Amino acid sequence: MNNTIKSISSLEILDSRGNPTVRTYVELNNGIRSVASVPSGASTGKNEANELRDGGKRYGGKGVQKAVDNVNNHIAKVLIGKNVNDQKDIDYSMIELDGTDNKSKLGANAILGVSMAVAKAAAQSSGLPLYQYLGGVNSVRIPVPCMNILNGGEHADNSVDFQEFMLVPHGAPSFKEGLRYVAETFHVLKGVLKKKGLATSVGDEGGFAPNCESNEAAIELIIDAIEKTGYKPGIDLSIAIDSAANSFSPNLDDNYDLSWSGLGKMKTADLLEKSAEWIDKYPIILWEDPVSEGDWDGYVSFTKRFGDKIEVVGDDNFVTNTKYIKKGIELGACNSALIKLNQIGTVTETIEAVRMCREAGWRYFLSHRSGETEDTFLADFAVAMDGGHLKTGSACRGERIAKYNRLLEIENELRGRSEYRWK
């Protein structure tokens, strides 16, 4: 059957924050049809690929009709007739058509939707589940679900500076059990917060967003919840943090303002002293963006000091772009990179970023965005990339649960062949 592209079209839909985003359909000449939706970040790195927004009054300027029109009127014309299995050629044709460094002409949101929908159509056309089409027959490792259970920073209007506190069920025997550990602890944490008179409303990724006195107080609440659920901190469940330090470094340099949670202003060296105290005292297994994206020396010092003990992940500094990841590898800034499809804008370039990490002996941490849709592409992609862990939010929001449920489905489908391990 003919697996060439017959038509491509896009539509403006809403994401989990109620903001417009792009949904794209690809139809093949063999009758196969796929659909993909594009996520959107709030705490973005300066060098992320450009998310094209309309400006003007509609949706407060956040409309994506221009990106949708770019798919319908420009991208479709170039790709119709191409073999859907030629993912790399298709992605690089769009990059060439765009012609800018950051995809600002067509929009990374326009390009990514097509790229993801092409991969899905190709998988269906090959008669394979997406994770196997992208990763091969040995794609059997289900990622450890680093579940966000407490939000701060740009993702909540509370008094916590750090953006994300995640539970990492590395001691569980399977994904299914790991997900149970974190979902149970999520519910127990709600009771712990209630008892202390703290809010149980949630932030953008579905983690609770209480007004804790400090970042330390937030960690202690989580440890209390782990113990009350009947798990052992550091053995069954550990903690991952995304400081998203850009949000408390006004000039994105080595000056930090943690006044919100009572620590005041400090330089990198003091921030590292505080981090050392916490890494010593608490079961922290992974730390993302502990310093701001401009503080490369800070990343290097942090990794030198703690890289043997914990995973040090770069997000806002690397933006899933091999140009910056390469710099990070050369400098020894971090030992892992966060991987977000829409930071770079095509499936092919995202895979190139993963490959670069792998070749350097780094880990790579697959991630959703704070603005998501019900699309489950990320779940399959994480299995295909074989990175061993992913973050995709809490146990109480449908757009996050969609990914977790898809991973349960994949683990079940693999029966006894699936693997689950932290490293």
Ligand X SMILES: C=C(OP(=O)(O)O)C(=O)O
Opening angle at CA 153, ends 150 and 154, nearest 5: 115
Residue 295 binds Mg ion, judged by CB under 5 A: no
Q: Catalytic residue among 62, 340, 391, 403, which?
A: 340
Task: List all residues 6 or more positions away from 135 whose beta carbon is below 8 Å from its beta carbon.
Answer: 383, 384, 385, 386
What's the rounded Cα separation, in Å, for the pair 112 and 356?
20
Pick one of Mg ion, ligand X, none as the site partner of residue 44 (Cβ within 5 to 8 A by kind).
ligand X
DSSP string, 263-323: -EEEEHHHHHHHHHHHHHHS-EEEEE--S-TT-HHHHHHHHHHHTTTSEEEESTTTTT-HH
> Binder to ligand X among 36, 142, 244, 279 (CB under 6 A)?
244
Please report whether residue 394 would count as binding ligand X according to CB under 6 A. Answer: no
User: Of 131 and 365, which CB lies nearer to Mg ion in the complex structure?
Assistant: 365
Query: Smaller CB distance to ligand X: residue 236 or 372?
Result: 372
Stretch that binds ligand X, among 36-44, 86-94, 166-174, 208-216 (CB under 6 A): 36-44
**152-191 positions binding ligand X, by CB under 6 A:** 163
CA–CA separation, 112 vs 51, rounded Å? 10
Q: The sheet that has 5-14: what strands, in order across it?
A: 5-14, 20-28, 33-37
Contacts of 236 (CB under 8 A, 6+ apart): 169, 171, 172, 181, 226
Q: Which is nearer to Mg ion, 198 or 339 (CB)?
A: 339
Residue 315 is a binding residue for Mg ion (CB under 5 A)? yes
CA-CA distances (angstroms) from residue 377 to 39, 110, 113, 422?
A: 11, 16, 11, 22
Candidate ranges 124-132, 211-219, 364-372, 382-390; the one touching ligand X (CB under 6 A): 364-372
Query: Which stretch, 3-11, 16-24, 213-221, 367-375, contacts ligand X (CB under 6 A)?
Result: 367-375
Binding residue (CB under 6 A) for ligand X from 44, 249, 321, 376 = 44
CB of 191 to ligand X, least distance (A): 27
Q: Which stretch binds ligand X (CB under 6 A): 40-48, 214-222, 223-231, 351-359?
A: 40-48
Partner touching 369 among ligand X, Mg ion, none, CB below 5 to 8 Å by kind: ligand X
Nearer to ligand X by C-beta: 155 or 406? Answer: 155
Two tokens at 263?
């620590």
42 binds, among ligand X, Mg ion, none (CB under 5 to 8 A by kind): ligand X
Taking the C-alpha atoms of residue 59 and residue 363, their distance in angstroms, rounded to an integer, is 38
Q: Which of 48, 205, 288, 399 is catalytic?
A: 205
Task: Write down the least CB distance from residue 197 to Mg ion, Å.
Answer: 30
- Catalytic residue flag (residue 154): no
**Which of Mg ion, ligand X, none sits in contact with 370, Cβ below 5 to 8 A by type?**
ligand X
Q: Which residues, numbered 238-277, are part of the site for Mg ion (CB under 5 A)?
A: 242, 244
Residue selected from 41, 206, 290, 387 as contacting ligand X according to rule CB under 6 A: 41
With a CB cutoff of 8 Å and minimum separation 6, the contacts of 273 are none
Q: How many residues does the chain have?
A: 423
Residue nearest to ligand X (CB): 41
Q: Check binding of 292 to ligand X (CB under 6 A).
A: no
CA pair distance 262, 73, nearest whole angstrom: 52
Long-range contacts, 257-265 (Cβ 8 Å, 24+): 258/161, 258/215, 260/159, 260/160, 260/161, 261/159, 261/160, 261/161, 261/212, 261/213, 261/214, 261/215, 262/213, 262/214, 263/161, 263/214, 263/215
Member of 103, 369, 400, 406 binding ligand X (CB under 6 A): 369
244 or 258: whose CB is closer to Mg ion? 244
Applying CB under 6 A, among 42, 223, 300, 402 the residue interacting with ligand X is: 42
Q: Is 205 a catalytic residue?
A: yes
Cα separation of 390 and 382, whole Å? 7
Q: Please tell me the distance from the alpha carbon of residue 270 to that of residue 287, in angstroms, as a whole number.
A: 17
| Residues with catalytic function | 205, 340
User: Which residues bind to ligand X, rule: CB under 6 A?
Assistant: 41-44, 163, 242, 244, 315, 338, 367, 369-370
